[in-house]
Amino acid sequence: MTRMRCDRTPAWRELQALFKSKASTFDLRNAFATDANRFETFSQSAPHVFADLSKNLIDSSVQQLLFDLARQAGVTEQRDAMLAGVAVNSTEQRAVMHWLLRNPALSIADSEQSAIKNVANELAQVHATLDAMLAYAQTVREDAGITDVVNIGIGGSDLGPQMAVLALDGYVLAEKRFHFVSNVDGHELAATLKRLKPENTLFLIASKTFTTIETMTNAQSAKAWFEAKGGTDIARHFCALTTNVQAAHAFGISTTFGFWDWVGGRYSVWSAIGLPVAIAIGPQGFREFLAGAHAMDEHFSRAPIERNLPMRLGLLDVWYRNFHGFTSRSIAPYHSALRRWPAYLQQLEMESNGKRVDATGEALPYATAPVLWGEPGTNGQHAYFQMLHQGTDVVPVEFVAVKAPQHNLPGHHTLLLANAVAQAQALMVGKVDSGGHRHFPGNRPSTFLLLDELSPASLGALIALQEHRVFVSGALWGINSFDQWGVELGKVLAQDVEARLGSGDTTGLDGSTAGLLCRLKTPWPASL
């Protein structure tokens, strides 16, 4: 497989020269003034998503060189390797096949012709599990005795399903309540349990590994609560979603849906981890969710680089991070149902590409994943948009807006959309004022993603778009986007600190850690 680190390509050097000579002073206002077709040139449609990229700090010469960069770094070859089931997760020797989870089933005849014939067995397993899981979801939907579904999981075993159940509120079965417990902080579980009755509750224990301490602790406590309150039928009230079915059985859960080690945690909402979504929106809705993502997969795998939206977004990310030096991207979903969208993207991008070495372990001489952050609009406008408009840092903003509302409150949606468009406009055009305080520098970049409606299919496509865009920037940076060794050290140290909190032993610790342990060991008033 051709793979060249981005900084070793001729295009990288050309981009550096171009940045120095003129691209660093690029002005969006001039660009629009001199090019009547800029909006058409720098916008495009992809399945379920329209993207306006025209308010970004690029012109055709920059874009051409970015396309060259993708070609020279071998991004398409790396994409094709992932889509052929090659073990591109090199540090864990695993294939990366979350995309297979949304591939339609193949007939035997098709599978012989298909580009994915080498993973036909895996695809058959995917569909067998999907059918079983959706049948189970339907049973739960029809079970009037179950009023509350509690997902216990963290990271990818929480963020994806939680974000999707909230986002698809308009499709969610009204007769059931959905709860998501992720934090090991007992306040979260205790607050949830307070509102539940064991006989009406289904706990979904979601953990790829079934070893994650937060999830296991919450699952143990949920089971203890269930039994203490007289609950008896574990098979009806507990279901495990995991690759480690054996551990789930050992825990005492017999109702299980499995998945595979080639599904990364942050890419797992399409697998059994998506069960809360399937219960919430129903089997047909879940199949539409998968189909929307599959349509984006097809676009990513087939569209030429120049008209390939995930490619264009991933290239822009590298342009901003490594040439302009922007350190963050603000995520602005103008739809309150997308309120967990920024958090979901944080894990997707920062856990995937927050790496300081390349896939061979060599330290990288350039920056990688930016910080992602944000809140739904218009709330963000009354909090931190001040900094976006007039602060000293330039922060590219990624808007997401939805044309059709799912409510009958006349005027609200027009006002919401007007604000989204106006914010992007204001960031770009700015306002000249000699007074200083009222001056807006403008020329601040943004991308505007527009969906016709927020449906299972469009949400599926939007998520897959982001997954692939993260793949593209990771491939350019030469990193393995599919491991997460950076979460390990804290886990190990937490075990040590937990033991020391019991024993009070601070031997060998740094002064601050020892000091904090002593403070924590000091008895606090019983009233607390």
Site of interaction with ligand F6P (CB under 6 A): 154-157, 207-209, 212, 215, 265-266, 351, 484, 487
Strand order in 43-46's β-sheet? 43-46, 49-52, 446-451, 397-402, 328-334, 371-374
Catalytic residue among 214, 288, 349, 351: 351
Indicate the residue among 156 and 474 with the shorter CB distance to ligand F6P.
Answer: 156
Of the candidates 395, 341, 350, which has an alpha carbon nearest to the alpha carbon of residue 368?
A: 350
Distance CA 348, CA 501 (A): 33
On whether the CB atoms of residues 502 and 520 are closer than 8 A, the answer is no
Counting every residue written for the chain, the total comes to: 528
* Residues in CB range of 387: below 8 A, 6 or more apart: 393, 395
Distance CA 461, CA 196 (A): 34
Of the candidates 79, 82, 67, which has an alpha carbon nearest to the alpha carbon of residue 9?
A: 67
- What is the nearest approach in angstroms of ligand F6P to the Cβ of residue 212? 3
The CA–CA distances, whole Å, from 150 to 61, 126, 230, 240, 519 equal: 52, 24, 18, 12, 35
Q: What is the DSSP string of 228-290?
A: HTT---HHHHEEEEES-HHHHHHHT---EEE--TTS-GGG-TTTGGGHHHHHHHHHHHHHHHH
Indicate the residue among 351 and 398 with the shorter CB distance to ligand F6P.
Answer: 351
Indicate the residue among 14 and 92 with the shorter CB distance to ligand F6P.
Answer: 92
- What is the nearest approach in angstroms of ligand F6P to the Cβ of residue 268? 7
- What is the nearest approach in angstroms of ligand F6P to the Cβ of residue 31? 40
Of the candidates 17, 347, 306, 309, which has an alpha carbon nearest to the alpha carbon of residue 155?
A: 347
Class of residue 70 by CB neighbours under 10 A (exposed 0-12, middle 13-18, buried 19+): buried
- What is the nearest approach in angstroms of ligand F6P to the Cβ of residue 442? 39
Let me know if 453 is a catalytic residue: no
Indicate the residue among 157 and 473 with the shorter CB distance to ligand F6P.
Answer: 157
- What is the nearest approach in angstroms of ligand F6P to the Cβ of residue 489? 12
Strand order in 148-152's β-sheet? 177-181, 148-152, 201-206, 238-242, 256-258
- What is the nearest approach in angstroms of ligand F6P to the Cβ of residue 480? 13
On whether the CB atoms of residues 285 and 168 are closer than 8 A, the answer is yes
Indicate the residue among 215 and 473 with the shorter CB distance to ligand F6P.
Answer: 215
Let me know if 187 is a catalytic residue: no
Neighbouring C-beta atoms of residue 339, cutoff 10 Å: 16
- What is the nearest approach in angstroms of ligand F6P to the Cβ of residue 350? 11
Let me know if 491 is a catalytic residue: yes
Catalytic residue among 382, 403, 439, 521: 382
Question: 60-73 vs 10-21: helix axis angle to the nearest 10?
Answer: 160
Distance CA 452, CA 460 (A): 13
- Is 371 in a helix, a strand, or coil? strand
Catalytic residue among 229, 491, 498, 521: 491
- What is the nearest approach in angstroms of ligand F6P to the Cβ of residue 360? 22
Catalytic residues: 351, 382, 491
